[in-house]
Amino acid sequence: MAKDRTEPEGNEELCTFSEQENGDCTVSTTVVGASGELAKKKIFPALFSLYYEDFLPKNFVVFGYARTKMSDDELRNMIRETLTCRIDTRLIDARICRENCQDKNHKMDEFLKRCFYHSGQYNSEEHFVELDSKLKEKEAGKVAHRLFYLSIPPNIFVDVVRCVSLKAPSIKGRTRVIVEKPFGVDSESAEKLTRGLKQYLAEDQIYRIDHYLGKELVENLLVLRFSNLVFEPLWSRNYIRNVQLIFSEDSGTEGHGRHFDNYGIIRDKMQNHLLQILALFAMEAPLSLDAEDARNEKVKVLKSMRPLKLEDTVVGQYKGHSKGDKSYPSYTDDPTIPNDSLTPTFAAVAFFIDNARWDGVPFLMKAGKALHTRRAEIRVQFRHVPGNLYERKLGTDLDKTTNELVLRVQPDEAIYLNINNKVPGLGMKLDRTDLNLLYQTRYPREKADAYERLLLDAIEGEGRFFVRSDELDAAWALVTPLLKELEEKKVVPELYPYGSRGPVGAHHLAAKHNVRWGDLSGDDS
Ligand SMILES: NC(=O)C1=CN([C@@H]2O[C@H](COP(=O)(O)OP(=O)(O)OC[C@H]3O[C@@H](n4cnc5c(N)ncnc54)[C@H](OP(=O)(O)O)[C@@H]3O)[C@@H](O)[C@H]2O)C=CC1
Ligand SMILES: O=C1O[C@H](COP(=O)(O)O)[C@@H](O)[C@H](O)[C@H]1O
């Protein structure tokens, strides 16, 4: 029997546990685009981890579907060879390989026996009829819920969804479809994609995946806010001076240049991951943990935001750089990218939420590739203590000594609060230190990958951490006018060296809003 995740009320399980025990129900997951990078790197490893950890229902099958010709055994070999999942890390870390590796190999063999492949075109109803009959054979007349994971380019989403809904839907169970980003490139294209999908599927069958919503710290945001007394009373303009979402990567677009050049960093990270996190951070308490209640609140906050303006935006692009005997390429050194590309690989922006809670509080975001570090964090800077008794000890710049709460999403997940503290001793010297929850120390077990968590949610019919179409529209409405203006005016991005902290313009933007980027303060834990 699958493990119970002790889910909240309102969660509709795909199979009831008694159905699973009786063997009356089955779940079939078809990975469409099974020959691709994402399937190999993330989706199959996530499915195996779920199986290894006993989270999958007793009866399940996994199908791969793509145009590439492959036998079932070839798919199985591909999965085995590319299975770099966390289970491996655990076995190596624990240095207890022999016994556990045997267990893993045994489980892997069991898992692979449930994996099958069908080769077909993405727009061929006939090929989906063939898939349907193979699925039916494995499902053996049970109530069968079907999940299709579209790990393919977006221009073929609607073809596949048409074929699935006409020729391979679940008859007695539910049919759900996970859709990978990008969900359009602007408001218009996103709406068109949604219309296309909704010709064949109801909204509650569509699971738009944003893998940042499956990251541990992001899922914890709601727990932190709504199950502790101490944070929520402070969570407003009364106590918070600014909020910063800082997401940097230390690698460039090597290998993905052509794909990235069509999008740029605002579409790649801000419109989706960062706005989703901002919405979870800033929304009002939902009525319940039900997916629709939480998503209603996210929509409300997104709709209260002002669309981005050019004067509140800085764009950058990385340039080549040599350090010692190592040299790093510029963005346009990639032969698949035009030499005169103006695509931003970095952006810093200021958002504002026009509601009672957040009026006047700048929400600053910066995201970039080829920066000095890989880090994703949310930084909350609080106001200074009025009439602080220790003002003279704290120095002249009170803003430097305010409390700051940091939620580090990756790497090394942590939640810490910068505080002022007395240095022990007879004198009265103050120190800046932090109250620190370092996940690695407190929860040493390895973390589930975001794809695992979200796949399990989709299998169980839990939509809370998937993006609803009105959220998507609201998020696109905030960035589309800016994207159009950047493109129409051919705004030239500020160059920054590969491996640096990004363009200087980001500091001017912060200064304009009386903000100091927290990641540059030296208070990092
Ligand atoms: N890779 C990643 O880390 C991430 C990927 N994504 C998104 O997920 C989806 C899948 O990603 P990824 O696996 O990297 O993509 P791939 O380019 O590897 O494509 C997946 C599969 O789709 C088929 N395919 C590729 N191009 C075309 C085409 N033009 N027409 C028809 N079929 C095509 C190929 O299978 P075959 O030829 O066998 O049919 C390929 O193996 C993409 O939409 C991507 O934007 C999102 C986030 C991260
Ligand atoms: O969605 C995307 O995310 C990856 C980074 O993901 P992470 O989980 O490793 O932080 C990014 O490289 C890619 O450009 C973007 O499309």
- What is the pLDDT confidence band of residue 389, given thresholds at 50, 70 and 90? confident
3-12, 61-70, 339-348, 444-453: the lowest-pLDDT one: 3-12
- What is the pLDDT confidence band of residue 324, given thresholds at 50, 70 and 90? confident
- Cβ(505) to ligand 1 under 6 A? no
- What is the pLDDT confidence band of residue 498, given thresholds at 50, 70 and 90? very high
- CA triple 373-379-381, angle to 5 deg: 135
Task: Report how far ligand 2's centroid is from the alpha carbon of 281 (Å).
Answer: 20
- Cβ(499) to ligand 1 under 6 A? no
What does pLDDT average to over the chain? Answer: 91
Indicate which residues carry an active-site annotation.
273
Q: Cα–Cα distance between 233 and 102 in angstroms, integer?
A: 51
Q: Cα–Cα distance between 181 and 190 in angstroms, integer?
A: 11
- What is the pLDDT confidence band of residue 18, given thresholds at 50, 70 and 90? very low
| Mean pLDDT of the region 350-379 | 98
For residue 102, the model assigns a pLDDT of 66
For residue 266, the model assigns a pLDDT of 98
Closest among 356, 371, 367, 354 to 277, alpha carbons compared: 367
pLDDT greater than 80 at residue 24: no
- Cβ(180) to ligand 2 under 6 A? no
Q: Does domain 216-513 have CATH number 3.30.360.10?
A: yes
For residue 89, the model assigns a pLDDT of 63
| Mean pLDDT of the region 110-124 | 97
For residue 83, the model assigns a pLDDT of 74
3-state helix/strand/coil string of 287-301: CCCCHHHHHHHHHHH
Q: 522: left (phi > 0), else alpha (psi -120 to 50), else beta? A: left
Q: Using N-to-C axis directions, what is the helix angle for 157-167 and 125-139, rounded to 10°?
A: 50
Q: Cα–Cα distance between 246 and 479 in angstroms, integer?
A: 18
Q: Does domain 22-180 have CATH number 3.40.50.720?
A: yes
For residue 168, the model assigns a pLDDT of 98
- What is the pLDDT confidence band of residue 511, given thresholds at 50, 70 and 90? very high
For residue 5, the model assigns a pLDDT of 62
- Cβ(268) to ligand 2 under 6 A? yes
Atom 48 of ligand 1: nearest residue by CA position: 38
- Cβ(210) to ligand 2 under 6 A? no
Closest among 357, 435, 382, 462 to 147, alpha carbons compared: 462
Q: 180: left (phi > 0), else alpha (psi -120 to 50), else beta? A: beta
19-33, 215-229, 298-312, 369-383: the lowest-pLDDT one: 19-33
- What is the pLDDT confidence band of residue 97, given thresholds at 50, 70 and 90? low
Tell which atom from ligand 2 comes closest to the C-alpha of 256: 14
Per-residue pLDDT tens over the stretch 170-228: 998 999 999 999 999 999 999 999 999 999 999 999 999 999 999 999 999 999 999 99
For residue 323, the model assigns a pLDDT of 82
For residue 90, the model assigns a pLDDT of 60
Task: Report how far ligand 2's centroid is from the alpha carbon of 268 (Å).
Answer: 8
Could you say which DSSP state residue 343 is in? -
Atom 5 of ligand 2: nearest residue by CA position: 249
Do the domains at 22-180 and 216-513 have one common CATH topology?
A: no
State the CB neighbour count (10 A cutoff) for residue 414.
Answer: 21
Tell which atom from ligand 1 comes closest to the C-alpha of 38: 13
pLDDT greater than 80 at residue 277: yes
Closest among 447, 244, 439, 479 to 344, alpha carbons compared: 479
5 CB burial (10 A radius; 0-12, 13-18, 19+): middle
Q: For residue 183, which ligand has an atom nearest its CA?
A: 1
- What is the pLDDT confidence band of residue 31, given thresholds at 50, 70 and 90? very high
For residue 7, the model assigns a pLDDT of 43
Q: Using N-to-C axis directions, what is the helix angle for 291-303 and 275-282, rounded to 10°?
A: 100
For residue 4, the model assigns a pLDDT of 59
- Cβ(449) to ligand 2 under 6 A? no
For residue 520, the model assigns a pLDDT of 83
- What is the pLDDT confidence band of residue 17, given thresholds at 50, 70 and 90? very low
Mutate to test the pocket of ligand 1, among 151, 193, 467 (most ligand atoms within 8 A of CB): 151
Per-residue pLDDT tens over the stretch 141-157: 889 999 999 999 999 99
Q: Give the predicted TM-score (pTM) of the model.
A: 0.93
Q: For residue 152, which ligand has an atom nearest its CA?
A: 1
For residue 28, the model assigns a pLDDT of 97
pLDDT greater than 70 at residue 525: no
Cβ-based neighbours of 431, under 8 Å, separated by 6 or more: 420, 421, 422, 423
- Cβ(66) to ligand 1 under 6 A? yes
Could you say which DSSP state residue 63 is in? E
Domain locations along the chain: 22-180, 216-513
Tell which atom from ligand 1 comes closest to the C-alpha of 35: 41
Pull the structure tokens for residue 482.
Answer: 């800016």
For residue 60, the model assigns a pLDDT of 95
If one compares 84 and 17, the residue with the highest pLDDT of the two is 84
Q: For residue 247, which ligand has an atom nearest its CA?
A: 2
